[in-house]
Amino acid sequence: MDPSPDPTSGQDSIRSTPLSRMAALAGAGASVGMNYLKYYGKRAVSSQNPENSAAARTALDEANASRIYGTFSQLKGGPLKLAQMLSMDDQLLPAAYAAEFSKAQYSAPPLSWPLVRRTIEREFRQPVEALFQQFTPQAAHGASIGQVHRAVLDGQPVAVKVQYPGVAESLASDLRVVKPVALQMLGLREADVAHYFKEVEARLTEETNYTMELRRSQELAAACAGLKNVRFPAFHPTHCSARVLTMEWIDGEPLDRFADGPASQAERNAIGQALWDFYDYQVHTLLLFHADPHPGNFLVRENQLWVLDFGCTRAITREFHERQFALLDPAVLVDPVAFPAALRALDILLPEDSPPVAEKILALARQSIGLLARPFLSATFDFADPAFMKAIYDMGEANRKDKSLRQLRGARGPAESVYLNRAFFGIYSLLHRLRAEVVIHPVSRSRQAAALEALP
Amino acid sequence: MEQSSEIMAAPAPALRQRIFEAYLSHLQREGHPPASVYRFCEGGGFTEREFFGEFASLEAVESAWWSGTLERVTASVEAGSEWSSFSARHRMLAFLFAFAEASLDFRSLLLLRLQGRGVLTNPAEFAGFETQFLAFAQRLLDHGRASGEIASRGPLGKLYPQAAYRLFRSVIDFHLRDASPRYERTDAFIEKSTSVLFDLIGKQVLDSGFDLIRFLLPKWTNRA
């Protein structure tokens, strides 16, 4: 036996041709089918007892989720990112899928060391040894379209993010191939997720541009410099290129591990507050936000929140911001005129909707906005409250199961809302996991009031 | 290494080197080899006696140049500081990446000789190149066998160097057709295709597959 395990053995690297990708996905599809057979088998036995049946269904979702996740992570690149994105929208995927897919950040299989070396040396026209005093050949962790290595530069530990070669080129064809199979496997309708695919493709293309990521990271870090307990790693622009990013190494604890660990309530609140303030400032003041509030993108060190990975940011227009946040006013929610008007302004309610359809959408929007806006409406909000998250999950689950709703869904609402919703759903989940109680700044509320007045 | 190349580049380069340079410059400029040794010598400023003292034919010049070029790449990777710690798979990857990089110096020659040609046939000028590669692949595979990375499958194992050569030619073929910026897709292709080769010759799918078939075979034959 080879004493040092080959890090690439058992790794398949990005599958190349559309055909082999289809084959891999079909493999997952077939085994999902098998799991369903097992489920129906179990259900036939235990159908008298509804609780058993629910448990079997959960077990089924978990087994399928981990199988599908395995397939997506083999394919890396676009499909993996897509899985992550879908997992952020709880209305689209059962909880078990969402949990499995959120692992994506940590466990994408690594690139071989010769390829990492080759990529770095091609980017900088110098041997790795001349660029860094030390460089660890094994990846410290994976990212959706690259992987991170630990290295030493000028005596300081740095993180070097290396992009999978060819990923930018194969993105569009990946998504085209994966889409129909993914829809089939996950039981989604194309119209429901068309706007996702469009947004995913646009963001992914941006994400492959590390030069842009470097610029944005530096701009956002400078703009957010005044925020308490929010920190950003420093970049080394001389060691950055379109395919490689070098930044300060942060020895922190990933946010989800911190949340599940033994931190005190005061520590949890401080980190939760930092997270809230960071998004509050970005969304309401900068109108540009870090659109990937994935636990792997945040580290906790010495009671400060470190924000990593600015590949995915989204700018919103002032106009969209005003329309969107006008909805958070409870007075608007119950107003029979202003509320439909606000939904119409956002294209959630369409002119061609028949009265019963419009009624259904109004009721649904009133319920979901009433629920999702709750944190904004108080001076402090305790995200530890299980009732709040459970209500969100239950609503998502009920909507997901509502067949008549599926007919309505399609591409409603502006594309910007995909990422805004994803960001807020992401931070609600993170804050709940942190069990943090957060002070809601009057800034947010007064801004909403101002936004409301600006509404036509 | 560097010292010897400096000697080569001295005011009066060695005869062999002058023949290579004259031949390659003719080939690149004209798109075909010189018509005869006589004309070649006339243009190159050396005698036929001098030419035949070094090479038996014009074809031999090119063959020697290709194998010499490949040898420089294999020698440079084998001299690398990490080589001894690399698995056979990593050695193959390191070699292919180094070759892809080095080939940027003679891409037009590769295009001239290999463009549009299937990976299964070898131009006559590549005879030495192939021999050189097979010897390198044999060393690499022996290392893999010794470490247990590569399965020993009796007579089947004799095909491995040839399989590695086809992989190498596929990589060159892909590289020549690659239009991506800085040939990034070639890098991805190298990583993926090498994985496939080593998964096939590694102790994975095939052996477990054979094991299963061996296990099932008596049952099937009994039934028949």
Cα-based angle A150, A156, A159 (whole degrees, multiple of 5): 25
- Name the token pair of A24: 């891999």
pTM above 0.95, yes or no: no
User: Which of A1, A165, A168 has its CB closest to that of B187?
Assistant: A165
DSSP state, residue B57: S
Q: Which residue has the higher pLDDT, A324 or B139?
A: B139
- Contact of B185 with chain A, judged by CB distance below 8 Å, is answered with yes
Question: Left (φ > 0), alpha (ψ -120 to 50) or beta: where does A76 sit?
Answer: left
b/e for A273-301, b at 16 or more Cβ within 10 A?
Answer: bbbbbbbbbbbbeeebbbbbbbbbbbbbe
Cβ contact A114–B188 (<8 Å): no
The whole-number pLDDT of residue A452 equals 46
Q: Which of residues 9-68 of B touch A (CB under 8 A)?
A: none
pLDDT of B97 over the 90 cut: yes
Name A28's bridge partners.
Answer: none
Specify the pLDDT at position A188.
63
CA dist A110 and A326 (Å) reads 45
Q: Distance (Å, rounded) from C-alpha A112 to C-alpha A118?
A: 10
Q: Is the predicted pLDDT of residue B159 greater than 80, yes or no?
A: yes
B 101-140 residues inside an 8 A Cβ radius of A = 101
Q: Answer yes or no: do A114 and B148 touch at CB < 8 A.
A: no
Q: Which residues of A touch B (CB under 8 A)?
A: 1-2, 4, 6, 8-9, 11-16, 111-115, 117-119, 122, 164-170, 243
Considering only CB atoms, which chain A residues are within 8 Å of B200?
A: none
Q: Name residues whose C-beta falls within 8 Å of residue A167's C-beta, 6 or more positions apart in sequence.
A: A14, A76, A77, A78, A145, A146, A208, B188
Which pLDDT band holds residue B107 (cuts at 50, 70, 90)?
very high
Query: Cβ distance B63 to B125 under 8 Å?
Result: yes
Contact present, B100 and B183 (Cβ < 8 Å): yes
Per-residue tokens: A79: 């499909």
User: What are the residue ranges spanned by the domains of chain B?
Assistant: 2-54, 82-214
Tens of pLDDT along chain A (456 residues)? 333 433 333 333 333 344 443 344 443 333 343 333 343 334 333 444 445 555 555 555 666 656 655 555 555 555 555 555 555 454 445 555 555 544 444 344 578 999 999 999 999 999 999 999 999 999 888 776 788 999 999 999 999 999 888 777 766 666 666 677 666 655 666 766 676 667 667 777 787 889 988 998 888 899 999 999 999 999 999 999 999 999 999 999 989 889 989 999 999 999 999 999 999 899 888 888 887 777 778 999 999 999 987 777 888 888 888 888 887 777 887 888 888 888 888 888 888 888 888 888 888 888 878 887 888 888 899 999 888 888 877 776 676 666 666 555 555 667 677 678 778 877 888 898 899 999 987 644 445 455 444 444
Q: Could you give the C-alpha distances from A93 to A29, A55, A186, A296, A404, in angstroms and in order?
A: 16, 17, 8, 20, 17
Question: Tell me, what's the pLDDT at A353?
Answer: 81
CB B209 within 8 A of CB A185: no
- pLDDT tens for B52-78 read 999 999 999 999 999 999 999 999 999
Q: Does B172 touch chain A (CB under 8 A)?
A: no
Q: Do B195 and A119 touch (CB under 8 A)?
A: no
- Cβ–Cβ < 8 Å for A63, A85: no
pLDDT at A407: 58
Closest Cα of chain B to A26: distance in Å?
Answer: 19
Choose, out of A112, A125, A209, the residue to mutate when testing the contact with B (most B CBs < 10 Å): A112
Interface-testing mutation among A6, A15, A74, A111, with chain B (most B C-beta atoms within 10 A): A6
Residue B144 sits at the chain A interface (C-beta within 8 Å) = no
> What is the predicted ipTM?
0.79
- Name every chain A residue with its beta carbon within 8 A of the beta carbon of B148: 1-2
Contacts with B147 from chain A: Cβ below 8 Å: 2
Cβ pair B55, B61 in contact under 8 A = yes
Contact residues on chain B for A164, CB-CB shorter than 8 A: 188
Bigger pLDDT: B215 or A377?
A: A377
Query: Best residue in A14, A16, A76, A116 to probe B by mutation, most B CBs within 10 Å?
Result: A16
Q: Using the beta-carbon criterion (under 8 Å), do A6 and B182 form an inter-chain contact? A: no
Q: What is the CA radius of gyration of chain B?
A: 22
